A and B are shown apart, each in its own frame.
Chain A
Amino acid sequence: MTDQRNLSPDAAQAQEWPRVSAAGFDGFVVRFGDRLSEAANRAALAFRAAIDQAGWSSVAETSTSLVSTYLRFDPLGTDHAVMQEQLQRLLATQDWYAAPHPQGRRLWRVPTVFGTALAPQLDEAAARAGLTAEEAVRQIAATRLRVQTIGFAPGQPYLGELPPAFDIPRQTDLTPEVPEGAVVLAIRQIVLFSVTTPTGWRHIGQTRFRLFRPDAEVPFVLRSGDEVLFEPISSDRYSALAQAGPDGGAVSEALA
């Protein structure tokens, strides 16, 4: 990876995506951009599928992040240089940015309490976005968000993309604990928490949707490519949903 601050604007533009970088001792990351875009996100998902299909024996596992694909391998069995060469060759086989969305996508409608004592950082996040709390909720609820990747915690989606006003940074301090089902916000994205966890993102909504069910036939509920609408509900409705089971009132339909 190169520090673009040390390059002239022309040189920075001349660098082409995607880029292959070593990641720690036993990993490589293939980045399809340095900012979130739908094309780069689709490319990352499609390229991971291609690595899995290639069936390279030295690869231990693969995953995607927002705009990058990761693979972990055994550097004691395959040299870093050989692995990198294999990745470059596979990259050259097609235009990954033109790859379609994954198959079998669904639209989920998820009942959500915004603000109140259940989600105490709505006002703060709205103010950072230069909006009233009411307007922030209206815009979020009106945006169909897509699961760009599953990560951080089991079954947990990164959802995007919110309107530009929501491009607010993470907070500098970690909130020690935010509950499972929390809707948290930063950098035009929403994460719906699958576990109780500390976070640097702002807690603006709360759901009863359980995303990780280790003993169920489908342990991880959401898939990359699925879309989500957060539908505002009252605290009373939220209380009633305690009886609604692991879906917490969420319903899904197939997307064409």
Chain B
Amino acid sequence: MSRTLTLLHAGPGLTVQDLGRPGYLAFGLSRGGAADRLALAEGGALLGQDAGFAAIEMAGIGGTFEASQEMRIALTGAPMAATLEDGTGLRWNASHILPKGARLTIGAVRRGSYGYLHVGGGIATPERLGARSVHLAAGLGARLRAGDVLPVGGDHGGPVDMGLEPEPRLEGGLLRMVPSLQTELFAKAELRRFQDVTFVRDSRANRMGVRLLPGGAGFALDGGLSVLSEVIAPGDIQVTGDGTPFVLMSECQTTGGYPRIGSVLPSDLPRVAQAQAGAEFRFAMVSLAEAVRIERRAAEDRARLRSRLTPVLRDPARIRDLLAYQLVSGVTAGTDLDDECLDTKEGRRP
């Protein structure tokens, strides 16, 4: 019998994402893929499958999903309230069984920007140009809508009810960068100031790029508006005409003429993607040698994810009968499902 996941409700920013489609750069098509690639690796580890399986990326808010068959799922990235219709809450950064016919409702993000719903066997929509990733900027595929029925691949089976402590990356912070193509055109004092000031993540951010507002003056470059168009890669920090930097993300353009002051390391890009508007960033230039050490460590960490899984303890407070009992006493279910991985000092959404 075919395995499908039906969307009964869909938030406005739901797309199918995998690791993207390399190889079309020369044709003007950027790689695309998940905004937070580490979340795909975590979902793969939680389900004991490859990081390349396609998942549902949820920007800001989730949706309601119904499984045609029992399936394994995992939830990663920005934590969101996830509940089954009987009130059972599902922990974020963990794997679960989604029973046949069960309806899973995923609400708004508590922290961060992009949550991910993974399924055992992966979302199995047809590949286009070699990948399943929707590339909104290129018009390749579209956002998911209520009523969509997504095919799910065959699941070879694997762990379930396992949890993973995610690498912290939802609150902004330090971004390591290396030189990019126009770094040396910026005056040394300006490059130093770029690493001294604090930037605030603007509300203008999407899968193409994230705008960062500098504390103080912009970083405009004399003659920068006539720089010859050159190749662009995700991570490049493009300074537009008014001196405001954009960090370019997975769906960025492939060439551009605005000067690049630096390029954020790949392993720091999930931090850029996940920050909410208002989050603060700093930049620090590192040498290529140091960058290789940082990326090697990150790759080793990704390879070790499976060994870091821990069983999710069956907390009596999460068992559905007890939740029902709490409802009688006037406590709402769903919003009190604290995730051990969350910083409890952080205010939660009502």
In the bound complex, CA of A35 to CA of B229 (Å): 10
Task: Return chain B residues, CB-CB under 8 Å to A29.
Answer: 181, 230-231
Evaluate whether A76 and B296 lie within 8 angstroms (CB atoms) in the complex, with A23-B180, A25-B263, A65-B231 already known. yes
Most chain A C-beta atoms within 10 Å of own C-beta, residue among B180, B184, B230, B231 = B231
B266 close to A26 (CB less than 8 A)? yes
Interface 0/1 of B209-250, CB less than 8 Å to A: 000000000000000011011110101100011100000000
A172 CB contacts on chain B under 8 angstroms: 225, 241-242
Known contacts A23-B231, A25-B295, A151-B254; decide if A171 and B241 are in contact (CB<8 Å): yes
Q: Could you say which residues of chain A place their CB within 8 Å of the CB of B22?
A: 60-61, 72
Among B24-32, B39-47, B339-347, the one that faces the other chain is B24-32
CB < 8 Å neighbour of B241 from A72, A173, A187 = A173
Q: Among residues 264 to 289 in chain B, which have CB atoms less than 8 Å away from a CB atom of chain A?
A: 265-266, 288
- Asked, given contacts A75-B295, A174-B240, whether A34 binds B26 with beta carbons under 8 Å apart, the answer is no
Say whether B179 faces chain A, with CB atoms less than 8 Å apart: yes
Asked whether A170 is an interface residue with its Cβ less than 8 Å from the other chain, the reply is: yes
A155 to B139, CA, bound (A): 12
- Please, how many angstroms separate the alpha-carbon atoms of A8 and B83 in the complex? 68
Residues B28 and A152 in contact, CB atoms below 8 Å apart: yes
Q: CA of A169 to CA of B220 in the docked complex: distance in angstroms?
A: 14
B240 in contact with A200 (CB, 8 Å): yes
- Distance from B239 Cβ to chain A, minimum over Cβ atoms (Å): 12
Other-chain residue from B182, B233, B258, B265 in contact with A27 (beta carbon distance below 8 A)? B233
Contacts of B198 in A (CB 8 A): none
Q: Find out whether the CB atom of A170 lies under 8 angstroms from the CB atom of B26.
A: no
The range of chain B's interface size is 35 or more
Quick check: is A46 within 8 A (CB to CB) of the other chain?
no
Contact of A155 among B27, B180, B296 (CB under 8 A): B27
Q: A2-B184, A153-B137, A172-B242 are in contact. Are A61 and B231 (CB under 8 A)?
A: no
Interface positions of A from 62 to 81, Cβ below 8 Å from B: 62-68, 70, 72, 75-76, 80
Question: Is A130's CB within 8 Å of the partner chain B?
Answer: no
Complex CA–CA separation, A187 to B182 (angstroms): 18
Give A248 to B230 CA distance when docked, in angstroms. 29
A131 within 8 A of B: no
Which of B138, B184, B242, B291 has most A Cβ within 10 Å?
B138
Q: How far is the CB of A36 from chain B (nearest CB, A)?
A: 6
With contacts A24-B233, A200-B241, A220-B28 taken as known, whether A1 is within 8 angstroms of B181 at the C-beta atoms is yes
Interface of A is mostly: loop
Q: Contacts of B228 on A, CB cut-off 8 Å? A: 34-36, 65-67, 187
Given the known inter-chain contacts A27-B233, A66-B228, please indicate yes or no for A22 contacting B179, CB distance below 8 A. Answer: yes
Kindly list chain A residues whose C-beta atoms are within 8 Å of the C-beta of B137. Answer: 153, 195, 197
- When C-beta atoms are compared, the residue in chain B nearest to A21 turns out to be B181
Evaluate contact between B181 and A151: CB separation under 8 angstroms.
no
1/0 contact string of B297-321 vs chain A (CB within 8 Å): 0010000000000000000000000
Is A154 located at the chain interface by the 8 A CB criterion? yes
**A66-B229, A170-B257 known; A61 vs B25 contact (CB < 8 Å):** yes
Q: Is B146 an interface residue (CB 8 A)?
A: no
* Residue-wise interface mask of A (188-209) relative to B, using a CB-CB cutoff of 8 A (1 in contact, 0 not): 0000001111001000000000
Contacts of B129 in A (CB 8 A): 214, 219
A65 touches B266 (CB 8 A): no
Q: Does residue B335 face the partner (Cβ distance < 8 Å to A)?
A: no
Q: State A197–B256 Cα separation when bound (angstroms).
A: 13
Of the candidates A22, A36, A149, A154, the one whose C-beta lies within 8 Å of that of B288 is A22
Of the listed residues A2, A27, A64, A154, the one surrounded by the most CB atoms of chain B closer than 10 A to its CB is A154
Check A150–B28 contact: CB distance below 8 A: yes
Whole-angstrom distance between the Cβ of B271 and the nearest chain A Cβ: 15
Residues of B within 8 A of A200 (CB): 225, 240-241, 257-258
Known: A61-B25, A215-B128. A24 touches B225 (CB 8 A): no
A52 to B235, CA, bound (A): 24
B236 touches A195 (CB 8 A): no
Quick one: closest B residue to A196, CB to CB? B139
Decide if A72 touches B28 in the complex (CB within 8 Å).
no
Closest chain A residue to B141, Cβ basis: A214
In the complex, per-residue mask of A28-68: 1 if CB is within 8 Å of any chain B CB, else 0: 01000011100000000000100000000000111111111
Q: Is the pair B226, A61 in contact by a Cβ cutoff of 8 Å?
A: no
Judging by beta carbons under 8 Å apart, are B288 and A153 in contact?
no
Known contacts A158-B255, A170-B241, then 4 further A-B pairs from the complex at CB < 8 Å, ordered by chain A residue: A29-B230, A75-B291, A149-B229, A152-B253
